[in-house]
A and B are shown apart, each in its own frame.
Chain A
Amino acid sequence: MNLFKIQDMWQKLIWPWRPESNREAGSGIVANFLLHWFPNRVSLRSLAFSASLYLGTITFIVFLVLTVTGVVLMFLYIPSVERAYWSIKDLDNTVSFGWLLRRLHRISAHLMVALVFLHMFRVFLTGSYKAGEIVRSARPFNWVLGVTLLVLTLLLSFTGYLLPWDQLAFWAITVGTNIAAAVPLVGEAIRQFLLGGTIIGQPTLIRFYVLHCALLPIVLFAVAAWHMWRIRKDGGLAIVEQDRKDALAREPVAPKKSKTYSVLGIASGTTVQVNDPTTLNEDNSVPSTPFLIVRILLITLLTVAVSIGLSLVVQAPLEAAANPEVTPNPAKAPWYFLGLQEMVGYSALMGGVIIPTIVILGLMLIPFLDREQKGIGFWFTDGPGRKWGIFGFLYGLVTTVGCLAIALLAPMRDIFPTIESQLFFDLVNPATFLLLLFAGMYFVVLKKTSSTRYAAIATFCAFIIAFVLLTYMGTALRGPNWDFYWPWQAWPTHPTAL
């Protein structure tokens, strides 16, 4: 009797429910979230490395690594201006695997920012923000969600930057919030809202801590879930549009009899393409289990191994404890803001406010400006697209280097020494030139090709190279007093006490 009870309990533990009919078994599977994490079948085109480079997947895995290390770090980090720095010192020196936690968290954070950018570049260059003609999907909206995730990632990284409370953190946040203060009229209010006062202190630390550990991760997780759910709802990666085209061209095949028809009624709406027997067949797709599962396992293992491997060789820096009275020279923002900081050097209004706003808004509007539907899922759309991409890349290279040369060799204030108006220099400076040159190119290419896609490709490629060059400039070529130094030029010796 007792044995029977134990057996019964064990049965419940390992499998709480047993179907009594085929119909019940089918409904059970349909209702199970885990079994629907991945689609039943996955298109061979989406599975290919070249389609996505798995950048979005890697980004999410890195986010999971950040979540796990971050939760452990929350047990060890003390968000107080007196103790924060020393709790980091303890992590580096005394806590078992504290060094690994910190380095892994930091390197993953940098990787995540880089990966989000790369993922965005990939999605743009393969035209994956397009709705498609056969089934109008909501991919344009998902692109907007993606840009939101980019902004959230930057905010998460930025708020985490302050937490070690060392000189690097303190002054990066000083520069970062000063960029925010350049917004006309409300800039000072934004800065005060971020800092919880007029200077960086305990109120700032606790704000950034709560944002970094609670609010932003929850929001990011929710939006990321939405982002990935939308991919399922839109039928998979954009390259599936090509499968759909093929399916249209084929003779229609009568749908197979399947028990899933019995539950069609509970899933309403027009965008359910999960069970799309006309698109995916046995020739152009494989079952997600095991093909996609093994692929994701591979990506996960590689990502974690590379992150830990990098953590073994890349140390997490910790400068002197935050000291409001000693400004490091140069004081730099986090690397992904250094392109902006470079432009803020020309004009705070242009580099800190107008250009970032235009870039974020422009990014969000891309799928609504470019509605051409050809070549979805293919890199650079087609042959001419590739040519315009190379053109944009070269154009961006030349114009950006040119504008940087103007900034270095012929600063506006030297050319117009008699003008004192700040507004004049906010409007006439290398950053503005770059903006106008890119906008001008967009319209010239648009006129020449009558294609919004080609114009967008050229502009986007120019934007990528400008972003890379400006970031490199701000990171590697700017030394004390924001002076220019070649990579082989040594910076002046840093004085020490003894």
Chain B
Amino acid sequence: MIKKIPQREILLVLIAAVALLAVGVAAIMYDTGPDWKYYQSEFRTIVAERVANADLATLPVGIQQIWVEKLDRVDRCTTCHLGMTWKGLEDVEQPWTTHPIPEIFDDHRLEDFGCTVCHGGQGFALSEYDAHGFVEHWERPLLSDIAGSEYDPRNPPPLHEIQCNYCHRYERSTRGMPFINSAKEFVRTKGCKICHVINGDGGKLGPDLTSEGDKHAEGFDFSNLVSDQITVFNWHIKHFQSPPTIVPGSIMPEMNFQSHDAQALAMLVMSWRDDEDLPRAYLPGVELKDEMTPEEVERDLRMREGDGAFFVEHNCFVCHSIKAYDIKSPTDKGPDLSLAPDDVRARFNKTVEEFLFDPTGTMKIILESQIVLTDEEKWQAVEKIMKAYDIVKNRAAEAEAAAADGS
């Protein structure tokens, strides 16, 4: 008959409890000691040393993220890369340094773009290895020089241009993208579009390349690529250098591209990705407007860039035509400005100059609230109106003279 529980049993329970405690503590330690906390505390030290009158209390603490709703992206890179938009940290090492091209933020505001749309990488992740994206199952790793040096250690191709051209693909050439620009020049001079559809137009002899950059690695035949690097990028490089070697029987001509050129072209085709989800505002070089006849286009151009451009720019033409400058108002609510000197004198007993600086009636309201001109601009307007008046008067005089000659 057993009455007491054996001590061995109690000991086992204790061991199990200690084991559970141990794994629990290990889990807590693993969770509460991420690398980014170290980077943030280092950043604090760096700022305290380098930046005069920095208020350490306002430094970001905790996970930082940039949520770009329009691009459906969340980038947490700034959790560690805290100094990106700071001035004075240019010579600090990564990840605390200032962005090497700070002026990029002038037309790529950080909150509108985030980081990964230009640089690649895994914006969701917070550990260095995962975030930089050279991990299995992450297809868009960080496009740094390190990635490029895999292909050319001495002269690494600037792979990030692939990402730049995701948005800039319709531009003829873009500042700061030498590789892509030269590749685009090849597309124009070598006649790629004779055989290939590119950006939605071209010949049908070769495959459509409009979305070539979306083609998955599984979709390529690597059987003829003799290389350590079984990558899509390398496939394109070798294919540009010798199409029939990579695709036996290919009729694509060999263009004798240098490896530098082949790299540029490979970057270009890999940048051609489906941009359906990209808001138009992110696509420079794409203009959406109503269809116009050539005459309309020409008149529009004349109005915008001719002598009367001032009146179009400042929206005077909404109500006033200016015959002298060939500007036609869509409404003609007000009198023709070419005749303003006569008109103003007749109606208000003022010169144009007096009227513009001290208007009355409707024009008072408009010039005070809707079309606010600086004094300089008002003088400009007076000058242009007087010139228009002269033109009209001269034309009238010429017409009169011609009529007199005729009679």
Which residues on A are within 8 Å of B, measured CB to CB? 44, 86, 89-90, 92-94, 96-97, 99-100, 166-167, 282-283, 286, 290-291, 294-295, 297-298, 301-302, 304-305, 308-309, 311-312, 317-320, 323, 325-329, 493-498
**Shortest Cβ-Cβ A-B pairs, 9 listed:** A301-B16, A495-B217, A305-B20, A305-B19, A308-B23, A319-B137, A89-B124, A326-B216, A309-B23
Residues of B within 8 A of A99 (CB): 31
Residues of A within 8 A of B240 (CB): none
Residues of B within 8 A of A94 (CB): 63, 76, 124, 126
Further 12 A-B residue pairs, CB within 8 A, beyond A298-B9, A318-B137, A326-B216: A86-B124, A94-B126, A100-B27, A282-B1, A286-B2, A301-B19, A302-B16, A302-B19, A308-B23, A319-B137, A497-B270, A498-B141
Contact A329 B13 (CB under 8 A): no
Residues of B within 8 A of A323 (CB): 216
A295 nearest in chain B by CB position: B9
B86 within 8 A of A: no
Q: Which of B5, B124, B159, B233 contacts A93 (CB 8 A)?
A: B124
Interface size classification for chain B: 35 or more
Q: Which of B63, B126, B233 contacts A497 (CB 8 A)?
A: B233
| Bound Cα distance A92, B137 (Å) | 14
Residues of A within 8 A of B126 (CB): 93-94
Contact B63 A96 (CB under 8 A): no
Contact A496 B24 (CB under 8 A): no
Given A283-B1, A305-B23, A497-B233, A298 and B218 touching (CB < 8 A)? no
Contact B13 A297 (CB under 8 A): yes
Contact B12 A497 (CB under 8 A): no
| Bound Cα distance A312, B19 (Å) | 13
Residues of B within 8 A of A328 (CB): 218
| Bound Cα distance A261, B216 (Å) | 76
Residues of B within 8 A of A495 (CB): 217-218, 220, 222, 230-232
Contact B5 A294 (CB under 8 A): yes
Residues of A within 8 A of B76 (CB): 93-94
B43 CB to closest chain A CB (Å) equals: 19
Residues of B within 8 A of A320 (CB): 137-139
A308 nearest in chain B by CB position: B23
The CB with the most chain A CB atoms within 10 A, among B16, B17, B130, B231, is that of B16
What are 25 A-B pairs with beta-carbon distances under 8 A? A94-B124, A100-B27, A166-B137, A290-B5, A291-B2, A294-B5, A294-B13, A298-B16, A302-B16, A304-B20, A305-B16, A305-B22, A308-B27, A309-B23, A312-B26, A312-B27, A320-B139, A326-B216, A326-B219, A327-B218, A495-B217, A495-B232, A497-B231, A498-B150, A498-B159
A53 CB to closest chain B CB (Å) equals: 15
Residues of B within 8 A of A295 (CB): 9
Contact B10 A294 (CB under 8 A): yes
| Bound Cα distance A321, B106 (Å) | 33
| Bound Cα distance A56, B201 (Å) | 66
Contact A100 B31 (CB under 8 A): yes
Residues of B within 8 A of A283 (CB): 1
Given A294-B13, A298-B13, A93 and B125 touching (CB < 8 A)? yes
Residues of B within 8 A of A302 (CB): 16, 19
B30 within 8 A of A: yes
| Bound Cα distance A305, B17 (Å) | 8
Residues of B within 8 A of A167 (CB): 137
Residues of A within 8 A of B220 (CB): 495
Residues of A within 8 A of B125 (CB): 89, 92-93
| Bound Cα distance A308, B231 (Å) | 38
B53 CB to closest chain A CB (Å) equals: 33
B147 within 8 A of A: yes
Q: Of residues 207 to 257 in B, which have CB atoms within 8 Å of A's CB atoms?
A: 216-220, 222, 230-233
Residues of B within 8 A of A304 (CB): 20
B304 within 8 A of A: no
| Bound Cα distance A18, B216 (Å) | 74
A468 CB to closest chain B CB (Å) equals: 28
Given A96-B31, A301-B16, A302-B19, A496 and B232 touching (CB < 8 A)? yes
B234 nearest in chain A by CB position: A498
Contact A493 B230 (CB under 8 A): yes
| Bound Cα distance A166, B17 (Å) | 37
| Bound Cα distance A317, B150 (Å) | 27
Q: Of residues 47 to 96 in B, which have CB atoms within 8 Å of A's CB atoms?
A: 63, 74, 76
| Bound Cα distance A82, B42 (Å) | 37
B384 within 8 A of A: no
| Bound Cα distance A286, B2 (Å) | 7
A397 CB to closest chain B CB (Å) equals: 35
B140 within 8 A of A: yes
Contact A325 B16 (CB under 8 A): no
Contact A496 B20 (CB under 8 A): no
| Bound Cα distance A185, B1 (Å) | 63
Residues of B within 8 A of A305 (CB): 16, 19-20, 22-23
| Bound Cα distance A323, B147 (Å) | 25
Residues of B within 8 A of A312 (CB): 23, 26-27, 30
Residues of A within 8 A of B74 (CB): 86
Residues of A within 8 A of B5 (CB): 290-291, 294
A393 CB to closest chain B CB (Å) equals: 32
Contact A301 B13 (CB under 8 A): yes
B29 CB to closest chain A CB (Å) equals: 10
B218 nearest in chain A by CB position: A326
B158 CB to closest chain A CB (Å) equals: 13
Given A327-B218, A497-B270, A301 and B20 touching (CB < 8 A)? yes
Q: Of residues 137 to 181 in B, which have CB atoms within 8 Å of A's CB atoms?
A: 137-141, 143, 147, 150, 159
Residues of A within 8 A of B130 (CB): 93
The CB with the most chain B CB atoms within 10 A, among A86, A166, A305, is that of A305
| Bound Cα distance A320, B217 (Å) | 13
A206 CB to closest chain B CB (Å) equals: 21
Residues of A within 8 A of B9 (CB): 294-295, 298
Residues of A within 8 A of B16 (CB): 298, 301-302, 305
A416 CB to closest chain B CB (Å) equals: 31
| Bound Cα distance A44, B216 (Å) | 63
Q: Of residues 385 to 402 in B, which have CB atoms within 8 Å of A's CB atoms?
A: none
| Bound Cα distance A99, B127 (Å) | 13
The CB with the most chain A CB atoms within 10 A, among B19, B130, B147, B270, is that of B19
Q: Of residues 267 to 324 in B, which have CB atoms within 8 Å of A's CB atoms?
A: 270
Given A93-B125, A100-B31, A294-B13, A497 and B23 touching (CB < 8 A)? no
